[in-house]
Amino acid sequence: MRLAARDVKGVAAFLASDECQNVVVLTGAGVSCAAGIPDFRSPGGMYDTLQPELITAMPEERAAMARDPTTVVLKDMFLRNQFPYHEVRRPFILGTQRQQWKATLFHRFLEVLDAKGKLLKLVTQNIDGLDFQTCIPPEKICACHGSVGRAACEGCGAPVAFDDFCERVRANIKDINGVDANAPSESSEMLCDACRRPLLKPTTVLFGASLPQSFFEVLEEELPQAELVIVAGTSLVVSPANLIALGAPGSTPRIICDWNDVGRGVGIDCASTAREDVWLEGDADDCAVDLAACGWLEELSDLRANYPKRVV
- The bridge status of strand 254-258 relative to strand 119-124 is unpaired
Round to whole Å and give the CA distance between 49 and 246.
32
Q: Give strand ranges (E) for 137-250.
A: 141-143, 146-153, 159-160, 200-204, 228-232
Round to whole Å and give the CA distance between 12 and 300.
15
Axis crossing angle, helix 297-306 with helix 284-292, rounded to the nearest 10:
150
Round to whole Å and give the CA distance between 115 and 110.
9
6, 108, 145, 150: which one is catalytic? 145
Classify each residue of 183-207 as buried b or exposed e, where b means 16 or more C-beta atoms within 10 Å of its C-beta. beeebeebebeeeebbbbbbbbbbb
Closest CA to 210 of 242, 239, 253: 239
How far apart are the two ends of the chain, measured CA to CA in Å?
A: 39
- 263 DSSP assignment: G
Closest CA to 28 of 206, 182, 236, 201: 236
Round to whole Å and give the CA distance between 84 and 214.
28
Active site residue 145: yes
Enzyme catalytic residues: 145
